[in-house]
Structure 1
Amino acid sequence: MAKNKTTATEKSVDAFLNAIKDETRREDCFILVELLKKITKQEPAMWGAGIVGFGSHHYVYDSGREGDSPNIAFSPRASSIAIYLSGSFADRESLLSKFGKHKTDKGCVHIKTVADIDRAVLTKMVTKHIQHIKQLYPDKS
């Protein structure tokens, strides 16, 4: 079975974020780090080369594929910041309607800048997302 490409690393989150050329995007990423630290009560870690994650869980799919993944994560991209949020947590659509300017795809919500979103709604979405992840993949330790 193929090995996961995106795994936790020892790389520095601060060094990664400080290397972002766009000043607004860099500042927004540091704002997200502080907000997600407050919500999760966990320190950020690099996952792969470009994902900042908080906490982790072990998953096993019906296919037998398994691995570890951050409970919540984001990744600065060229044109947006991708926040990795499950597509199926409670009240997702209702919360997204109040979230502010964003785009969505499979498992991400894309924002241009933190100024475009309602941080209180982001807090609710992250909390519900993590609850959903913990229900799907309970800690077996």
Structure 2
Amino acid sequence: MTDIDEFLARVAPAKRRRDAERLISLMRDVTGEDPALTGSIIGFGSYHYRYASGREGDGPAAAFAPRKAATTIYLMDGVATHEEDLAQLGPHTTGVGCLYVKDLEACDLETLRRIIARSYATLTAGVMGNRASDA
């Protein structure tokens, strides 16, 4: 059993676990990368960021976290970039760089695939200079 399998076995409620399994498949397909578990975040690929302050680092280029209240999908290029697609997605809420989904079955998965693919492409195209809140 892998770390991800062990982690998923502990995810509750069952709907969140089901959505996590579906997102792993979708993100693996979109990114061509295998999932990696960091804490409670399941990430795919990586990107390098560098801020004007000189601070820099690496993060997952596509990622999500199955939280009790909702699944958090990280869009580090900012949710505003995906405004048009988000209008077509189905029930969700957003933060600056986060998309919160309570039930993937209520969402248009092709729209979600498009959002994740565009975000991943943006993040892996080169050095990401801005955080989502600065974009």
TM-score, length-normalised on structure 2?
0.86
- Structure 1 ranges of 4+ moved more than 4 A: none
Answer whether contact 1:103 1:111 (CA < 8 A) is retained: yes
Gaps of 5+ in 2: 129-135
Aligned to 1:44: 35
Structure 2 residue corresponding to 1:131, chosen from 121, 126, 129? 121
> Considering only aligned residues, what root-mean-square deviation do their CA atoms show, in Å?
1.7
Instruction: Tell me the CA shift for residue 89 of structure 1.
Output: 7.0
Answer whether contact 2:12 2:68 (CA < 8 A) is retained: no
Are positions 1:100 and 2:90 aligned together?
yes
TM-score, length-normalised on structure 1?
0.83
Are positions 1:17 and 2:8 aligned together?
yes
Aligned residues: 126
Are positions 1:121 and 2:111 aligned together?
yes
Structure 2 residue corresponding to 1:68, chosen from 58, 64, 75? 58
Same amino acid, percent of matched pairs:
35
Counterpart of 2:16, as a letter, is R
Instruction: Tell me the CA shift for residue 133 of structure 1.
Output: 1.1
Instruction: Tell me the CA shift for residue 81 of structure 1.
Output: 0.2
> CA–CA distance in 2 between the matches of 1:28 and 1:134?
25
Answer whether contact 1:99 1:117 (CA < 8 A) is retained: yes
Gaps of 5+ in 1: 1-10
